Amino acid sequence: MTLRLHNTLTKTKDALEDFPGFDRTNVRMYVCGPTVYDYAHIGNARPVIVFDVVFRLLRHLYGAAHVNYVRNITDIDDKINARAAELAAARGSDVEAARAEITAATAGQYLQDVTALGCLPPTHTPRATDYVREMVAMIETLIAAGHAYAAEGHVLYDVSSKPDYGKLARRSLDEMIAGARVDVAPYKKSPMDFVLWKPSDAATPGWPSPWGRGRPGWHIECSAMGAALLGETFDVHGGGIDLVFPHHENEIAQSEGAHQGHPLARIWMHNGFLQVEGEKMSKSLGNFVTINQLLQDWPGEVLRFNMLRSHYRQPMDWTVAGMTESWKTLERWYAIAEPVAGPRVGAAFLAALCDDLNTPQAIAELHRAPEDELAGGLGLLGFSNVQLRIAAKKAVDTTAIADAIAARNEARKAKNFRESDRIRDALLAQGIVLKDGPGGTTWEVKR
């Protein structure tokens, strides 16, 4: 079964195995991770889940030991600095200490959230602050190669030095300059030149460099960390579609510029955007949903399943109705799959995933699959029933429920239906729904 993935660079479904130099014993994937200044929201959850499935699929195809997955944590950023400055001012403390505190707390929360979503830890989770030296070295290489220039404490990438700049976003320099709304700083040679390094004042976190105390620009960290952990060229690079330009375009410019033009990634994958109840998510509309809030009300696996019901490149609408439907499906499936002794991955299911990660198709295959293939498919997609179980047991006295069920069945046997219905209604009032099946009575927490 050959995996084909839609490649933003070529706009076709490409097979990794068709690329010369592809090494099936060392499959490498890089995904842009969060900038840690605030809680991750539901939109952030989409790439995390989607690329976790890609990771799991690659491990299935090539073996877990042969897949290397890097998802960075961006802990250098001007939004972070703004928060750090607020915190430092409020306390009269050091701005760097405030930055470190905010990013450590936010990163910890993020890892906790995505773990609840059933995502495996990546092979590496590098933090930008640990790779400043590599960034500085890459910038020096770019200057030496004629791709960058220093000016007024800044270092800028010279886009005119790279004739194919814009190939990922499919935009020409002329188009971009014509439509540009960028403030053109006087030290830029071209309006599209972007910052690799910029100076920091005393109230802003900064690191020493040949160009003075400063901090890296937004894009260079991914280039530097990717090269340090995966090498010059890797197989899959992923992120949200909004990152295509400028972030990924600039990563390509930097990495290829620093590596004699060797390609940065073979396949570029981008997930589509998400709306909430038919509207774009924004703080002003009041429909800004964080993963953390959602996890108060929903098992992480429900959120995960809901995300995989739509294809990752399609725009998706996140709704409570969809979550309810997802929960129902998962619950029914777990009941079927859990007793299975020998799970297997079905051919049609795997074929769907290998066709550009068609998870809706794969889920449809699970609906008609035999029990062992349902169990195997759920496992491959990262579902284990842990979260649902936790949710089901939350604040529930299982012994009391078992006693009530026994009492009700006594009453039913005695044809005392007034009493049996009273017990059932009393449990329902506590949010416990009874199900009478051929094998006896089971219960679940009402949604």
Partner RNA sequence: GGCCACGUGGCGGAGUGGUGACGCAGCGGUCUGCAAAACCGUUUACCCCGGUUCAAUUCCGGGCGUGGCCUCCA
- The minimum distance between CB 258 and RNA, in angstroms, equals 20
Binding status of residue 377 toward RNA by CB under 7 A: no
Among residues 303, 376, 294, the alpha carbon closest in space to that of 333 is found at 376
**Burial class of 173 by CB neighbour count within 10 A (0 to 12, 13 to 18, 19+):** middle
Q: List the beta bridge partners of residue 355.
A: 4
Please count the residues of the chain.
Answer: 447
Which secondary structure element, helix H or strand E, spans residue 156, and what is its range?
A: strand 154-157
Binding status of residue 275 toward RNA by CB under 7 A: yes
List binders of RNA among 46-85 (CB under 7 A): 46-47, 79
Q: With CB under 7 A as the contact rule, which of the stretches 86-94, 360-368, 369-377, 385-393 interacts with RNA? A: 360-368
- The minimum distance between CB 221 and RNA, in angstroms, equals 10
> Which distant-in-sequence residues (6+ apart) come within 8 Å of 289 by Cβ?
41, 42, 276, 281, 318
Among residues 225, 249, 228, 260, the alpha carbon closest in space to that of 146 is found at 260
Binding status of residue 170 toward RNA by CB under 7 A: yes
Q: Provide the mask over 86-125, with x wherever binding to RNA is found by CB under 7 A and - wherever it is not.
A: ----------------------------------------
Do 379 and 428 form a contact (C-beta atoms < 8 A)? no
User: Measuring CA to CA, how many Å separate 71 from each of 28, 175, 237, 255, 272?
Assistant: 11, 32, 10, 17, 19
List binders of RNA among 398-437 (CB under 7 A): 412, 417, 420-421, 424, 433-437
List binders of RNA among 324-343 (CB under 7 A): 325, 328-329, 332
User: Measuring CA to CA, how many Å separate 224 from each of 182, 290, 446?
Assistant: 25, 30, 50
Among 97, 100, 120, 182, binds RNA (CB under 7 A): 182
Binding status of residue 371 toward RNA by CB under 7 A: no
Binding status of residue 292 toward RNA by CB under 7 A: no
Among 169, 173, 289, 401, binds RNA (CB under 7 A): 169
Among 358, 371, 372, 430, binds RNA (CB under 7 A): 358
Binding status of residue 214 toward RNA by CB under 7 A: no
Of 186 and 437, the one with the shorter C-beta distance to RNA is 437
